[in-house]
Structure 1
Amino acid sequence: MSVKSVLGDLQIVVERHSDVLKNYSAIFRVLIGLRVFGFLLSFFSFARNILWLHPYQLASIEVWRIFSAAFCGHNLLDLSWTIWSLHFATNLIRLNNSNEALLKVYAITQALTTLILAIFAYITYVLFDSIKFFYVEPIVGLVPICATVLVLMKQFLPDTIVLTTPIGRLKYTHLPFTAMLVALILALLKLTYFITFLQIAIGIQVSWTYLRFYKPHDTDDIYGDQIFFPSRTQLVFTLIGRICFRSLAKLGVCKRPIRHVDLNSLQSVTVGQINLPQIETSAKDSERRRQKALRELNDRLNKTRQTENLNFGGNWDEDEEDEDDTQAEAQSEIQIPAEIHSPNHNNDSQA
């Protein structure tokens, strides 16, 4: 059986079950089931040797580990966060997104984050001779998807309060940065892998980049949302964001958005006492007057050029004769009527 036929059969299955993908959350429950099954398998050494992913294993083209490692990992905190993200949070953000869109951004973030981490591990191994990320710590779990869920929740419910603390209110818009901070603390306490912190940080960046530039939402910001971070640090992160954005734009990864405004869709909107249809009518009148003035100017220029060509094309004697003839014709044509020439004409005729 060829790869083309397998892909064709897979497409037929997806089309037949498209209602499930569009209207139900069963697909996300399947992901939860696979993650729980991978959690149980991860306690066995043979399963870890077959299913887990270390960056050096990609050199031997063990590509299936990119998929299998996503459902593995024996960290209970990671498993709990994944179940919460795929059940509660996903059902919440499905109100503003379709299942296909969610699955697409989940897959993109998971795959790209894993590949970026593998490249990062190889670079640290080559430059600094560090084996921590290249040989020791595995890339497992659906942590990038969990980070994507936080970004989506931040966009969907930015000002909703999650928790009130003595030092301030924690909102959904603060969750991505909070997750990074908590993961860093847990990694320093040896409760999770340090690579989990990198998965969250890179997953947030990848998902935000995709949602901002490749699936843009309605916003006036060019460099993204500053409220990922505490308000006192926004100035620093805004500067960093501009540098990153311009670098990605020069590399062709991102493009500056081009905004278009359709005036036809705003015809019923009034600004103060001015109605948009009136503005559009006055604009058309101004355009007509401008076009008319341009036509008149062109006619005058053409007449002037024709006159100059005639003056310079003939000889001076003929021009003088033509001028005399023209004056004589003008005088013969302009004659005062007898009735008007003599005010006493009527009186004379009566006499």
Structure 2
Amino acid sequence: MGVKAVLGDLQIVVERHSDVLRNNALPFRFLVVLRIIGYIISYLHFARLLLWLHPYQIASIELWRIATSTFCGHNVLDVLWTVWCLHFGTNLVRLNNTNESLLKLYAITQGVTTFVIVVFAYLTYILFDSIKFFYIEPLVGMTPICASVMVLMKQFLPDTIVLATPLGRIKYAHLPFLAIFVSFILALTKFTYFVSFLQITIGVQVSWTYLRFYKPHETDEIYGDGSEHFTWASLFPSRTQLFFTLIGKVCFRTLARMGVCKRQVRHVDLHSLQSGSVGINLPALENSAKDSERRRQKALKELNDRLNKTRTAEVASYGNWDDGDDDEPTEVTVVAPPPVSNVHSSKPAMDKESMA
């Protein structure tokens, strides 16, 4: 009885505090603490041998390194950036996301990026006999997660200014490309591993792909974010977006033909919309209907003007039939019937006099 009572009380506590654990920043603070601990122990030689990940170690089925290497690495710039992203960046994007969706995105970005880089390192070793990525540079740190935070901030606040500089204003929309550019400069100057640049670049692409096409919505069965400010070309500077738009279209069409991607086709039942039983707001259909109605009213107005001018000309040519009357020409107005959604053609009935 005592054990059952304790378990029952524990379940009540978990149910009461589930919303608190779900809506606060505790999981992300826990990740920050693990990253700081991993930074400290990465200076120990045996910890690097046991916890770090090199692509060649996947072949020996040392799979625990995939998880442990995420929190390791002794680059102080990487640690500071990770703390900033998991604290400030995550608290900002949590206003538009739940903890579950953020943790899912972070796990997908970190895992897929690691897998892609392992495959890339193996191919460079096989094809070009290069051991740099396969044996030397380790896959450590949470830079793919930081890249996904940059993409989330761009999605949430694309036009908000982060910093004003003499060269221009930096917005949240510029953060993904800025992270890629800065990491490339740091890799060239040997402040970071070159594999860190690959982690950020691939992490930006993976997180954008998931948010654009695969992230489920909570209220309906729509997936992804199809807004104009979140296109692939918008990840790059505005002056180069036209060029990257063409590249994106070519890549998407190629992947669609290969069956990797599918075009989104949405079917709308107009009969259910017209019946009034279903209330759906479709801006595209509403704009099209408004344009059609505006053109219709304009055409009716022009027809009324023409008929009035014709009637006035006829009265002026024949003169006044009755001098005592001061009748003015009768204005002819064409009244348009109300728009009908479904037009059913029926054969008019003939009366008996027309039949005779």
TM score, norm. by length of structure 1: 0.72
Question: Do the aligned partners of 1:213 and 1:255 also contact (CA within 8 Å) in 2?
Answer: no
Question: Do the aligned partners of 1:21 and 1:100 also contact (CA within 8 Å) in 2?
Answer: no
Q: Residue type matched to 2:174 in 1?
A: H
CA distance in 2, matches of 1:151, 1:88: 14
SS at match of 1:73: coil
Partner of 1:265: 280
Deviation at 1:246, TM superposition (A): 2.1
CA distance in 1, matches of 2:146, 2:107: 12
Pick one of 219, 243, 264 that aligns with 2:227. Answer: 219
CA distance in 2, matches of 1:113, 1:21: 28
Deviation at 1:245, TM superposition (A): 1.6
Q: For the aligned residues, what is the CA RMSD?
A: 2.6
Deviation at 1:283, TM superposition (A): 3.6
Partner of 1:342: none
CA distance in 1, matches of 2:198, 2:46: 26
Deviation at 1:220, TM superposition (A): 4.9
Distance 1:50 1:217, change over 3 A: same
CA distance in 1, matches of 2:74, 2:185: 19
Larger Rg: 1
The superposition leaves residues 42-62 of structure 1 with CA deviations (integer Å, 9 ceiling, x where unpaired) of 000100000000000000011
The superposition leaves residues 215-236 of structure 1 with CA deviations (integer Å, 9 ceiling, x where unpaired) of 2124158x92422111221122
Pick one of 244, 262, 269 that aligns with 1:255. Answer: 262
Pick one of 213, 229, 238 that aligns with 1:231. Answer: 238
Q: Residue type matched to 1:87 in 2?
A: H
CA distance in 2, matches of 1:160, 1:59: 45
Partner of 2:249: 242
Distance 1:260 1:165, change over 3 A: farther
Q: Residue type matched to 1:97 in 2?
A: N
CA distance in 1, matches of 2:157, 2:342: 46
Deviation at 1:133, TM superposition (A): 0.2
Structure 2: gaps spanning 5 or more residues: 1-10, 216-223, 274-278, 295-337, 349-355
Partner of 2:325: none
Question: Do the aligned partners of 2:40 and 2:74 also contact (CA within 8 Å) in 1?
Answer: yes
Partner of 2:113: 113
TM score, norm. by length of structure 2: 0.71
Q: Residue type matched to 1:78 in 2?
A: D
Distance 1:178 1:273, change over 3 A: same
SS at match of 1:49: helix
SS at match of 1:265: coil
The superposition leaves residues 41-96 of structure 1 with CA deviations (integer Å, 9 ceiling, x where unpaired) of 10001000000000000000111111000000000000001001111110100000
Partner of 1:303: none
SS at match of 2:59: helix
Distance 1:274 1:266, change over 3 A: farther
More helix by share: 1
Question: Do the aligned partners of 1:213 and 1:254 also contact (CA within 8 Å) in 2?
Answer: no
Q: Residue type matched to 1:84 in 2?
A: W
SS at match of 1:163: strand
- Within-5 A mapping of 1:93-172: 93-172=93-172
Deviation at 1:248, TM superposition (A): 2.6
Question: Do the aligned partners of 2:232 and 2:248 also contact (CA within 8 Å) in 1?
Answer: no
Structure 1: gaps spanning 5 or more residues: 1-11, 276-280, 297-333, 335-351
CA distance in 2, matches of 1:252, 1:18: 41
**Which stretches of structure 1, 4 residues or longer, exceed 6 Å deviation after superposition?**
267-270
Pair 1:282 & 2:339 matched: yes
Partner of 1:304: none
Partner of 2:300: none
CA distance in 2, matches of 1:210, 1:170: 25
CA distance in 1, matches of 2:238, 2:50: 45
